[in-house]
Structures are given as structure tokens and as C-alpha cells.
Structure 1
Amino acid sequence: MIELLQGFLLLAGSFFMLIAALGIVRLPDLLTRMHASTKGASLGVMLLMAGVALHFLEEVVFARTIAITFFVLMTAPVAAHAIGRAGYFVGIELWKGTVKDELRPNYNPLSHRLHSGLKKTARGQEAGKSHAHDSHKGED
């Protein structure tokens, strides 16, 4: 029974890795390719590592598979975000079917800086917001 489960996990993990690889090759732009590679590869690694842990059934191997899975799940989204942001900043073409570009109004292509869109007042506070201690001044 364990052989059947480990075989299923290894095949499912390999399938998701294959889908991620096909997504990298077939999708139209950097951002959608990164989405496919990050999601598919992360799920594929989780399933493969579960199959490896079931195959060996040792505490050391189980601890290593947990560490590998945790490492991939923590680093893949961060790396994808950094690569996507760098790609956007250097001016990659978005797919013509892209519905919404939320960075465009907040990105200055000359300085390569993002701003939040919130206006700052002379005192450095966000416009339209007051802090609790500011509203009670003079009431002491």
C-alpha cells in the first residue's frame, strides 16, 4: 500500500513539474511564466519530497524533506517577486491580454521608484488620516 501511495506522490509531483515546465515554454510573458513556474514547481517539489519521505521512512530523510519543502515554499515566491519586479522595471512587454496593470500609475520610469499614491502632509502624516494622539491634543 505504501508503494502505491509513494508511486502516486512521485508521479503527481512529476506531473506538476512537467506542467510548470510547459507553462514556462508556452505562456506569453514573463509574469505569467513566473506564475506557472512558481506554483507548479512548488507543488511538484512538495509531492516529490512526500514520496521520497515515504520511500525511505527514516527520520533523517523526513527532516531533510521537510527542510527542502520549507526552503522552496519560502524562497520561490520571493524570488519570483524580485524577478518580476526587475523585469517590470526594465520595461518588459506585458501580454496584450493583460487586463490590469496596477503598477503603472505608481511607477516612475525615470527614477525607477514606486510610490504608494498617498499624499504626505507637511507634518509627514498621510493625508486624510490622523493618529489617535493627535486628536486629543490640548485635552490634558
Structure 2
Amino acid sequence: MIDIIQNYLAGILIIVGSGFALVASIGLLRLPEFYTRMHAASKAGTLGSGVMLIALAVYTDETTIATRALAGFVFFLLTAPISAHLLAKAAYAAGYPLWEGSVHDEMPQQSRDPDA
């Protein structure tokens, strides 16, 4: 009985994680510029990967595999937002333009110019 519940729960988590990964890939294709594409990939991609790693931890009967899957999930949660932020900051400093439809640029113009 527990095995059946475990299999169904893992299956549901895989479907949910795949859905988030699909949303991330659609965001990469459809969004207009680098910054919004990066946002879609980092947020939805991290959540999708994390949910699928939790599904692996639920499905497996070995403690070592479950521990590694949960450690990978924690690693994704700690590194993906930081790397996305640093990548966006570097792209902004390099002069990648914002989308024309952007309402407000919160970074001051002086942050782009290293000599100022």
C-alpha cells in the first residue's frame, strides 16, 4: 500500500516538475529580452528541477540516493538565484539593453559607467 502511494506521489511530482520546466522553456522562447528570459529560466527552471529531485527522493528506497537528491535540491535553491542575479548584473554593466516596453530602470545610469 505504501509503495503505491509512493509511486503516485512521485509521479505527480514528476508531472508538476515537468510542467514548470515546460513553462521555463516556453519563457525562453517567447519572452522579449535577455533579462526576462533569464528570469523565466532561473525561477521556473529551478522549481521544476527541484520538484523532480524531490520526486526522486520520494521514489527511491535507498537513503543515500534520497540524501543526494535533497542535497541537490538545496544546492539549486542556494545557487540559482545568486547566479541569475550576478549574470543580470554583469549583462547590465556590459550594456545589454532593456526591452522597449520596460517601464522603469531601477539601476542608475552611473552604475553602467565604471569611470563615473
Question: TM-score of the superposition, structure 1-length normalised?
Answer: 0.74
Paired-residue identity, %? 36
Q: Secondary structure at the match of 2:100?
A: coil
Looking at secondary structure, tell me which structure has more helix per residue. Answer: 2
- 1-side partners of 2:106 and 2:82: how far apart? 19
User: What is the root-mean-square deviation in Å for CA atoms of aligned residues?
Assistant: 1.5
Mapped pair 1:40 → 2:47: no
Q: Which has the higher contact order (CA 8 A, sep 6+)?
A: 2
Q: Secondary structure at the match of 2:89?
A: helix
Letter in 1 for 2:89: R
Query: Aligned-pair distance for 1:105?
Result: 4.3
Q: Secondary structure at the match of 2:84?
A: helix
Query: Aligned-pair distance for 1:91?
Result: 1.0
> In the alignment, which residue of structure 2 is the partner of 1:131?
none
Length, aligned pairs only: 112
Question: TM-score of the superposition, structure 2-length normalised?
Answer: 0.88
Q: Secondary structure at the match of 1:37?
A: helix
- 1-side partners of 2:73 and 2:58: how far apart? 14
> In the alignment, which residue of structure 2 is the partner of 1:101?
105
Structure 2 CA distance for partners of 1:97 and 1:53, relative to 1, 3 Å: same
| Structure 2 counterparts to residues 54-93 of structure 1, below 5 A | 54-93=58-97
- Larger C-alpha radius of gyration, 1 or 2? 1
Structure 2 unaligned blocks of 5 or more: none
